[in-house]
Each structure stands twice: as structure tokens, then as C-alpha cells.
A and B are shown apart, each in its own frame.
Chain A
């Protein structure tokens, strides 16, 4: 009787299952991907225990940078064009189709209307380099130089269902926030969301 040979285990592993899982995950991520949009400025939001999520659509975001600059953006590209057309008509400026298309791609911006046209004419790389000066606001909320009120008004004209989200930076000073608040209140907007990060509530805390 020959000696029983111990069957040596194969050192190679069947990777089919792993490949399956990997590609399943890959497909999932591709399908659910929402790419980080290129923002006009990075805004570091404070965190809160609030569990309410920001809605996906019909949202107007007013950003407040750490240096007090105000940025503005709405979510839908068609609405962006409609908003630009509204504001152009109100201000007596005309934008070419190419500029409108360019504008539709910007998720948010912080420029006075007068500078918008020349900004849209620039190549992409140059746009990214420019420090946007922010949208002019004032403390009364309805002054002639307050352009934020025009944007808010005209974006709501383009889409009346827009909800307003305010995204402020940790370091933004309160008076700057007050200017934005005054602008909204001047248009009788009394309900809006403050975008915050998520933070765990203290132990034992329950929402009611």
C-alpha cells in the first residue's frame, strides 16, 4: 500500500466572489454618486443635533463665507437660466446663449451682477482662480445696492417652490448673518433652513 499522500491545499484563492462583491459595490457607488460640486468658496458649517436632512431638490442656497462674503446658488440648471433671464431683464443686461449655458453650470457664485458677464466670458481655469467678491447685501435688506434680494426674488420667480437654505461658515460674524436675515425678512420670508453638519445628541436625549 502506497503511503497516503497529504493533498496539498492550493495556495491560490478563487477570487470570483470577491470580484462579484467589488463590482456590485462599484455599481452601487456609480449609480448613487452625487459628485461634489465645485463651490465658489469652501464653507465649513457648524454642527447641530438636528436630524432633518436638507431636501434634494427645489433648494436655494445662500452661502455665507468666513470672511462675510455672500454666495448664492439654486439647484436646477433650467431654473438657473430662467433666473438669469429674469434678472437680466430687470437690470437691463443681456447675456448670450453661451454665457447662459456657462452660468447654468455654476452651482453657486458670489459676484455683483455687473461683474458677472465678464466672469462668464473667462475660461474655466481662470474662473477658478478668481476670488469672488461676494454678492452685495446691506443691513436694511431692501436697499438699492442689495443684490441678494434681486437674486432671491428672481429665483423665486423662476421656481416658486424653492426652499431656502442658509449655509454659514463657523467663523462668519453675526452682523453678516443679520444682513442676510434682513434681506430675507424684507421679502417676507420667515422660514428657512440652516445647513449644519451632524452631531450626536447628548446621551439620553430624545426628540419629541
Chain B
């Protein structure tokens, strides 16, 4: 174990005096080390070291009505957050004849879709409209907002109302009225 026997005294040499055996100055530190590490383990497990991060979300002031230039529908990608962690998106306006509704999962597929659509229009005009449906979860919304940060999409909006055209488009994908 941990003690080192340095008790050198007490040896009888010929003709030497009989010395009393000196007590060892070394202490067995094993239990102390044990206890120390036990406490360390406890403190490591019982504390929260990594603080959660946070995303800032700024929403427009509802009390102020700001007149803004209408956004051209051809620059808009509308993302509908559906059920079972799937997102549906269209590029352009739902009122257009037969818009192509594509379905993607969150993550890489979704990121590619944004980048693909962002390339079609000039960077300062591209707008993403995020429309969470009743069946989407909070996680889906955070994922999409995160994707906005990753793809550096500066202009995006969170809208929770579907237009009649969009409802028609989505009716076999998600439950509109809960």
C-alpha cells in the first residue's frame, strides 16, 4: 500500500546502544485519496457545468403597424412544419398554378433545400416564411430557426396562419383544423 517503510531505527549493531524504534513519519494516505475522489465524483455529477445556450428571438411589435413594401412572391420560400418531424415547402406563392410541394426531413435535407432555393434569387431578396402547423412541435420550430442561422438567411418570418390556398395544398399532408 501507500506507506513507505522508512522506519530505519531499531537495528542492533554490534556494541551499539539499543535505540527505541522511531515511529514512521509516513501516513497511509489511501483512505484520504479515496474520500477525495469520491467527493470529486459527487460534485462532478451533482453540478451543472455546461450552461445551456440560448437563441435570441425578436418578434415584431404587434401594436405598431409598419407599412412595408410587399414581398414579391417569386422570392419567397414557404416552409410548413408538419407532423412526424417532416417539413413541406414550396417556392413561390401557393396561389400559383400547381406549386410543387416538396417534403423534407429536418437537418441536412432541409438545409440543402434552403440553399438550393436561395441560389435562385439574389441574396438580399430571399425570404423564408415559416408556417408551423398545429401538429409541429417546439423542437421543429427551433430546428428551423437554427437552420436559418446556419444558412445565414437574414430575412425570415414566423407566421401561424395558413391562407385558403395553402390549406388546400396541405390538406392531405397535415391536419389543418385540430
Q: Which residues of chain A have a CB within 8 Å of any CB of chain B? A: 10, 12-16, 18-19, 22-23, 25-26, 29-30, 32-36, 45-46, 48-54, 64, 165-166, 168-178, 181, 185-186, 188, 190-199, 201-202, 205, 208
Q: Are B63 and A197 in contact (CB under 8 A)?
A: no
Which of B3, B30, B150 lies in contact with A202, CB distance below 8 A?
B150
Q: Which residues of A contact B32 (CB under 8 A)?
A: 19
Partner of A191, one of B50, B57, B81, B150: B57
For B135, the chain A residues whose CB sits under 8 A away are 173-174
CB pair B47 A172 closer than 8 Å: no
A174-B81, A188-B61, A201-B150 as given contacts; A13 in contact with B52, CB under 8 Å = no
User: Closest residue to A168 on the B side, CB-wise?
Assistant: B138
Asked if B29 CB lies within 8 Å of chain A CBs, one says yes
* Minimal beta-carbon separation of A25 from chain B (angstroms): 5
Taken residue by residue from 38 to 61, chain B's Cβ proximity to chain A (1 for < 8 Å, 0 otherwise) reads as: 011001101111111111111111
Q: How far is the CA of A15 from the CA of B30 in the complex (A)?
A: 8
Known: A36-B48, A174-B132, A190-B58. A52 touches B53 (CB 8 A): yes
Contacts of A16 in B (CB 8 A): 29
CB-defined A-B contacts under 8 Å, sample of 6:
A36-B47, A49-B149, A54-B52, A174-B135, A175-B178, A191-B59
Which single residue of chain B is at the shortest CB-CB distance from A198?
A: B53
Q: Which residue of A lies closest to B51 (CB)?
A: A53
- B29 A50 Cβ-Cβ under 8 A: no
Q: How many A-B residue pairs have CB under 8 A?
A: 165
| Residues from 88 to 131 in B contacting A, C-beta threshold 8 Å | 111
Choice from B29, B59, B133, B152 contacting A15 with Cβ under 8 Å: B29
How far apart are the CA atoms of A9 and B56 in the complex, in Å? 62
- Contacts A171-B137, A194-B54, A198-B52 known; A12 to B2 CB distance under 8 Å? yes
Residues of B within 8 A of A194 (CB): 54-57, 142, 145
Residues A178 and B36 in contact in the complex (CB < 8 Å), given A15-B29, A185-B59: no
Nearest first, the 10 closest Cβ-Cβ pairs linking A and B are: A29-B43, A22-B36, A193-B54, A168-B138, A170-B139, A172-B138, A46-B139, A174-B132, A50-B55, A48-B146
Q: Is B141 part of the binding interface, using a Cβ–Cβ cutoff of 8 Å?
A: yes
A178–B160 Cα gap in the complex (Å)?
Answer: 8
Judge whether B165 is part of the interface by a CB distance below 8 angstroms. no
User: In the bound complex, what is the Cα–Cα distance between A16 and B152 (angstroms)?
Assistant: 54
Contact A191 B53 (CB under 8 A): no
Cβ contact within 8 Å between B137 and A12: no
Q: Tell me, in angstroms, the Cα distance from A23 to B33 when the chains sit together.
A: 8
